[in-house]
Amino acid sequence: MGKKFLDFVLSGHKKDQKTDSYTQKVHKILGDSDTPDSQQFRDLINEATARIELGTEDWDFVAARTLLAEIYQESKGNRGDFLDLINTLTNLKIYSPALLQKYTIGEIQYLAGKLNLDNDLLFTYAGLQVLSKRYITKDYDGNYLELPQERFLIIAMFLMQDEGDRRLEYVEELYWALSNLLATMATPTLANAGKDNCQLSSCFIDTVPDSLDGIYLNNWDSANVSKHGGGVGIYMGKVRGKNASIRGYKNVGGGIIPWMKGINATATGVDQLGVRAGAIVIYNDLWQWDLPEFLQVLTNNGDERLKTRDLEIGVCVPDYFMELTESDETGRLANPDALWYLFDPHDVRQTMGWSLEDCYDEQEGSGTWRTRYQQCIDHPTLRRRTIPAKEILQMLVVSEKETGMPYRFYRDEVNRQNANKHKGMIYCSNLCTEIAQNQSPSELVGSKIVDEDGEEYIYYKRRVGDYVVCNLASVNLAKAERMGVLRRVVRILVRALDNVISLNTLPLLQATSTNQKYRPIGLGTFGWHHALAVKGIDWDSEESVEYADDLYERVAFYAIEMSAELAEEKGAYKYFPGSEYHTGAYFDRKGYKTVEGGLDWDGLKARIMENGIRNGYWGAVAPNASTGLIAGSTQGIDAFYGDECIYYEEKKDFKIAVVAPDLNADTFKYYWKKGAHRVSMDYSIKQNAKRQRHIDQAVSFNIYIHKDIKAKDLLEIHRKAWRSKMKTTYYIRGTANIVEDCDYCQ
């Protein structure tokens, strides 16, 4: 039989009765061949994956090794060595010519010698399956060309191509982090880095102005972002509501739902060459005129003609509403007769002379927004819809329990914590609720016909707004902590993400402009539950809360420290002057002080105030479900999905058994009956409150519920999240509304 193949598959793992039976199966299928064909590979993998179950981890590695052998064999038949791979894919116009232009043949051969194929053996079957299906480069017919380690090295080479004399050093360092599964890049970077005209960013956020041009240009922009693999967040709180006036004619406005239906068509129509449908979330303010209809666009009640079933939705919630709907410990509203008022943003602008959405409460319990909201209520002629506040709560709960949405965006806390409030306003978040950056609409302000060389051209003049872009990568917490390399991993990821900004090929000019002004990055994490289990910390414990506080303070310090070094090396971001980093207010607000034997926050603050910081936004914790799988760890900040240490990852084209990472006699009790629906939401919120304090943007925080949860209990979870100063919440994940993970921020 294929002895070389068997030796490879089973090397490094103990043989037992079960793997011996697998050996016999291989004998039967292969006979004396050393080179299985594709169907034989499939048969072998299916045999192994059918046996992956709790306590039989050898079968997972057998399946992974078999898949790895299949990738090796197929790619070997399609190309030569690493240099030949680069030449082949460059000639096919799949790789960027920059790889051959920026690196000499000698440098490429040197780096090829750094490829560590042994690290391919670190993959679980689930991780390698996801990586091979989605990220390893193939030819136009879908045949493997890259090997997994080559994908990691190409990413490192591309992102570090302009690092001067230390370029090879940084390539090796980033490759080390990726190859050892200490970190992952987000989906667009993981898939596209090194490719021709590559788009490396995950999510985008646009602000729609209240004009026909603005609405349709937003749709055009969203189509282009979706075409290039990005997810889109859209703030529509500025658009006039139903029955608003248009050019002085009263009661003629159609509201935001018809425009949402157009965006819905874009999400399904621009499907990225059939790979996946576009993903778009619409955010609306809790006081906007069309709120009741907005909250029904995904539910099963209401007029089907007003549904937008291919969109996500989110609401922007002010502190005042949360205060107005506080309850006692029995769930009874403190003010059951409280009223809530919905206003049309166009009416407010016309009547009051300002926009309600353009302000927030600067202090807890007081501020510009609630003052102006009360002025709107008191105005004798301003059009409004009056609804009991408890009915608004009911609408939210109905939608959440049925659809898992809307996401929540706590706008006052977000803007109070904005380090760049001197340059703008944050209206909403993105598709996965972890991005919070300044926004403003891009608006068409003129056009003209120009005669050039006998041809007439129409030139449109569009004022550039802040079109938000997020550039993401994440640290494998469990592995980085266990190896004692957290600072080292954070530092190379911050450098890599900053280079993403410089090298990116973005589909929109206004996105490029915003990216250059703020140089925002989103350093995230995954493997939180894995890290707790390895350290022997129970999820439902005060120790887990204390560990979250300590761990994420270190992540913050290392990231900000590295960004400060990059500012000294390459210059600060454009809008640094006047920011809270420039004034030092960021550190004062966080309460960061140097403690003997601890992190030198005072020194870092002084350094940044004098020399600047490279990235205006630096931290964002995304869901990281798929990339957590690739790295053999747990997803994002959530508890492991399976209550019994195993669950099945099911996608359109495969179903995989996933066993809790590092499962052994010591870690078992930290996973068993501690699945995401089983652990305490109280402790999840406490942990995330500590985490959020140290993250300058936001965190993708799922709320896990049982399908029979009472409305008052779900509302209390939201209140605890808000009281804890969390900025956003993501899906409501109940057994009755299982939702697909967002792939865009993975």
Query: Which residues are the active-site residues?
Result: 430, 432, 434
The phi and psi torsions of 212 (rounded to 5 degrees) equal -60, -45
Helix (H, G, I), strand (E, B) or coil at 622: coil
Integer Cα distance of 79 and 82 in angstroms = 9
Residues in the chain: 746
Which parts of 92-186 fold into alpha helices (H)?
Answer: 98-102, 105-112, 125-134, 148-159, 167-179
Integer Cα distance of 728 and 405 in angstroms = 12
As given in the structure block, the two tokens for residue 410 are 């706590």
Q: Which residues contact 632 (CB under 8 A, 6 or more apart)?
A: 122, 123, 124, 127, 181, 661
As given in the structure block, the two tokens for residue 133 are 């299906």
The phi and psi torsions of 618 (rounded to 5 degrees) equal -130, -30
Query: CA angle, corner 315, sides to 677 and 715, nearest 5?
Result: 45
Which parts of 665-710 fold into alpha helices (H)?
Answer: 668-671, 681-694
Integer Cα distance of 118 and 110 in angstroms = 18
Integer Cα distance of 410 and 322 in angstroms = 10
Integer Cα distance of 373 and 378 in angstroms = 9
Integer Cα distance of 382 and 347 in angstroms = 7
Integer Cα distance of 709 and 41 in angstroms = 46
In angstroms, the Cα distances linking 300 to 290, 650, 725, 736 are: 18, 25, 33, 14
Cα of first residue to Cα of last residue in the chain, in angstroms, is 41
Integer Cα distance of 581 and 590 in angstroms = 12
The phi and psi torsions of 678 (rounded to 5 degrees) equal -105, -30
The phi and psi torsions of 524 (rounded to 5 degrees) equal -125, -170
The phi and psi torsions of 724 (rounded to 5 degrees) equal -80, 5
As given in the structure block, the two tokens for residue 240 are 């006039």
Integer Cα distance of 616 and 580 in angstroms = 10
In angstroms, the Cα distances linking 555 to 393, 525, 558, 621 are: 37, 9, 5, 11
As given in the structure block, the two tokens for residue 433 are 């609720």
Compute the half-sphere exposure of residue 457: CA atoms within 13 Å on the CB side of its CA: 9
- Rg of the chain over Cα atoms, rounded to whole angstroms, equals 26
As given in the structure block, the two tokens for residue 107 are 């440098």
Q: In sequence order, what are the beta bridge partners of 443? A: 463
